[in-house]
Chains A and B, each alone.
Chain A
């Protein structure tokens, strides 16, 4: 995967659609990242943090029980074992290290499920930076534990009360904060979205997981690569990370979106949050509210490079329902003793649904995060708690499901 063009585009997607106030900041960030990324000492410091603070490399686990049950050989890239419980820490350590280098001591971030918020609060605590995290009111409610984690880590959590009160609105609030504080603040965006250089920069910070996975696959598969590499897609950072390791191999790449948040699946381009990409919207261009049981995928857009990969046919994008996701969540817990986050449960749900076409194949799933944060929500859904049931859509059925 190469750099985007000078305008920050991957094919026809990407760009820098931000208020004029932010343009110089985006330019400064692009230059700052370019310099840092080509500076060996920055790279060494980043790698040291990944290894000695985040706990990289993360292992790859062969799932024998599940493989027997499904007739599909399943490998998991264990991003759930990273410090803070997901792949998000890679990007956050890269960006906060960059903020430090650029002399910005106030970090602003948005969060959906809270994973990016917790990771950002963690890194900010490590570097002694001030940290403000915006989180939609709905997510604050369903991820209360992560709110407390962020506060424990010294971050200030601000509740976004506008719009759908989920990730989309948290991004709006974080961008408004950044417009007003751009001279002193660093916006630590949590996915491969937003204005150039974010989609590219965030991918580069997650590239490590794809590179590790490629090397580990070759070791486990006698020099071969998996037939299929699958990852969940909200904004798409964990998917881009793992795809980056396999895009030049024979592996088929599959991104799995929630049925209620399938931006690529609907294939209508639009502009929000700084870039042109596939976007869930109505006929007038109003952005639709996504619906997913997992707060981390509850986003109507998708990173521009995913739109590009779909456009050129290098990756394909599938959707799964909340019910399939909850089934996969239980399945992996029971069969392998690994409780996955609801987000990567989407990837597994797709494998389960397509097990017939995947018979005998080797499938690598990016297990992007652990499920501790979701246990209370799933328990409440299974108990029929009315508030928890508001977070889940059991009515959607997909063809062939």
Chain B
């Protein structure tokens, strides 16, 4: 059964007064040093790291993450190579796999869950597998020791939200706005509202992602939520500079923003 590695880890840190930071990277981007990027982000203060396994048709992702996925796929990344890279990592923060359901479905639920576990992942996010479709996978994942993070969206009714939260393992991923991933100039009011709606109904760690782009936005949001997930803004650093150092520095600045430094 799932031992709750991720949730335990996040709860302990949260209960110690820390605001949680989960940056996202795309496996295979940049081709030669994405694993060093993961290690660098762990060193820069990430509490867990979300690693995307690229899919050809990422409908929940905006242009920035699409671009990183397209490049990684063109450079030959496969689920197997992503698992292999992750299994060689030398870090002490939990890892969360993010991919679309067909990657999991094609491999088979059990084999996918076992492969994640073997690679060293603690949890999985499948953004196109909503509550009604998640049952079969989530039960297998529970058995194999992979925590299934569920997405909670601003469009969910007050009746639906607790059902989603109930099925969530690891943490609850609150979607900060009605839309796809991508950088935004301003924090959406819906992000704060999502955080307070979730905090009002659960003691599980509540992290908000999608449209969280700057240290200031992260800090503002963490006044209500337990933490943030930042994806596109991290990838943007690499796309703009061609170097992973800028992304690692950026994660450091997010950390300082959350810590109030």
A-to-B contact residues, CB < 8 Å: 7, 15-25, 162-163, 168-169, 172, 175-176, 179-183, 269-274, 276, 279, 281, 283-287
- Which of chain B's residues have a CB closer than 8 A to the CB of A273? 57, 59
Output the residue of A20, A285, A287 with the most chain B CB within 10 A: A20
State in angstroms the CA–CA spacing of A181 and B180 once bound together: 10
Assess the A286–B55 pair: CB atoms within 8 A: yes
- B254 at the A interface (CB under 8 A): no
- Which of chain B's residues have a CB closer than 8 A to the CB of A276? 105
Assess the B132–A20 pair: CB atoms within 8 A: no
Interface hits, B151-203 → A, CB 8 Å? 151-157, 160, 164, 175, 178-180
State in angstroms the CA–CA spacing of A20 and B58 once bound together: 14
**Who on chain A is nearest to B105 by CB?**
A271
Assess the A17–B133 pair: CB atoms within 8 A: yes
Assess the A21–B128 pair: CB atoms within 8 A: no
State in angstroms the CA–CA spacing of A279 and B179 once bound together: 26
Q: In the complex, given contacts A23-B160, A168-B57, A270-B102, what are 5 additional A-B residue pairs having Cβ atoms less than 8 angstroms apart?
A: A17-B101, A21-B155, A172-B57, A180-B178, A271-B128
Assess the B175–A163 pair: CB atoms within 8 A: no
- Which of chain B's residues have a CB closer than 8 A to the CB of A176? 59-60, 62, 180
Q: Report the minimal beta-carbon distance from A5 to chain B, rounded to whole angstroms.
A: 12
- Which of chain A's residues have a CB closer than 8 A to the CB of B128? 17-19, 271, 274
- Which of chain A's residues have a CB closer than 8 A to the CB of B131? 20, 23
- Taking residues whose C-beta sits less than 8 angstroms from the other chain, chain B's interface range is 35 or more
Given contacts A179-B179, A270-B106, A284-B79, contact A23 B57 (CB under 8 A): no
- Which of chain A's residues have a CB closer than 8 A to the CB of B102? 270-272, 279, 281, 285, 287
Assess the A286–B56 pair: CB atoms within 8 A: yes
Given contacts A17-B129, A19-B60, contact A285 B164 (CB under 8 A): no
Assess the B156–A20 pair: CB atoms within 8 A: yes
**Who on chain A is nearest to B157 by CB?**
A24
Assess the A271–B130 pair: CB atoms within 8 A: no
Given contacts A17-B129, A182-B178, A281-B102, contact A287 B153 (CB under 8 A): no
- How many inter-chain residue pairs (CB < 8 Å) link A and B? 117
- Which of chain A's residues have a CB closer than 8 A to the CB of B151? 19-21
- B107 at the A interface (CB under 8 A): yes
- B4 at the A interface (CB under 8 A): no
Assess the B55–A180 pair: CB atoms within 8 A: no
- B246 at the A interface (CB under 8 A): no
State in angstroms the CA–CA spacing of A19 and B102 once bound together: 13
State in angstroms the CA–CA spacing of A273 and B78 once bound together: 21
Query: Can you name 5 A-B pairs with beta carbons within 8 Å?
Result: A19-B59, A24-B160, A180-B178, A286-B55, A286-B73
Which 4 A-B residue pairs are closest in the complex by CB-CB distance?
A: A285-B106, A180-B179, A21-B153, A286-B56
State in angstroms the CA–CA spacing of A122 and B259 once bound together: 55
Assess the A162–B70 pair: CB atoms within 8 A: yes
State in angstroms the CA–CA spacing of A22 and B133 once bound together: 13
Interface hits, B54-102 → A, CB 8 Å? 55-60, 62, 66, 70, 73, 78-80, 101-102
Q: Report the minimal beta-carbon distance from A388 to chain B, rounded to whole angstroms.
A: 27
- Which of chain B's residues have a CB closer than 8 A to the CB of A15? 133
**Who on chain A is nearest to B66 by CB?**
A162
Assess the A21–B154 pair: CB atoms within 8 A: yes
State in angstroms the CA–CA spacing of A20 and B154 once bound together: 9
State in angstroms the CA–CA spacing of A367 and B102 once bound together: 34
Given contacts A179-B179, A183-B178, contact A20 B153 (CB under 8 A): yes
- B239 at the A interface (CB under 8 A): no
**Who on chain B is nearest to A169 by CB?**
B57
- B103 at the A interface (CB under 8 A): yes
Chain B window 203-226, contacts with chain A (Cβ cutoff 8 Å), 1 for yes, 0 for no: 000000000000000000000000
- Which of chain A's residues have a CB closer than 8 A to the CB of B66? 162
Assess the B155–A24 pair: CB atoms within 8 A: yes
State in angstroms the CA–CA spacing of A18 and B73 once bound together: 23
State in angstroms the CA–CA spacing of A146 and B44 once bound together: 52
State in angstroms the CA–CA spacing of A247 and B240 once bound together: 56
Assess the B130–A16 pair: CB atoms within 8 A: yes
- Which of chain A's residues have a CB closer than 8 A to the CB of B257? none
Q: Report the minimal beta-carbon distance from A183 to chain B, rounded to whole angstroms.
A: 6
**Who on chain A is nearest to B99 by CB?**
A285
- Which of chain B's residues have a CB closer than 8 A to the CB of A287? 56-57, 102
Q: Report the minimal beta-carbon distance from B9 to chain A, rounded to whole angstroms.
A: 24
State in angstroms the CA–CA spacing of A279 and B57 once bound together: 13
- B43 at the A interface (CB under 8 A): no
State in angstroms the CA–CA spacing of A43 and B59 once bound together: 34
Assess the A163–B57 pair: CB atoms within 8 A: yes
- Which of chain B's residues have a CB closer than 8 A to the CB of A22? 155
State in angstroms the CA–CA spacing of A176 and B59 once bound together: 6
- Which of chain A's residues have a CB closer than 8 A to the CB of B70? 162-163
Assess the B152–A20 pair: CB atoms within 8 A: yes
State in angstroms the CA–CA spacing of A281 and B57 once bound together: 11
- Which of chain A's residues have a CB closer than 8 A to the CB of B78? 284
State in angstroms the CA–CA spacing of A163 and B59 once bound together: 12
Assess the B155–A25 pair: CB atoms within 8 A: yes
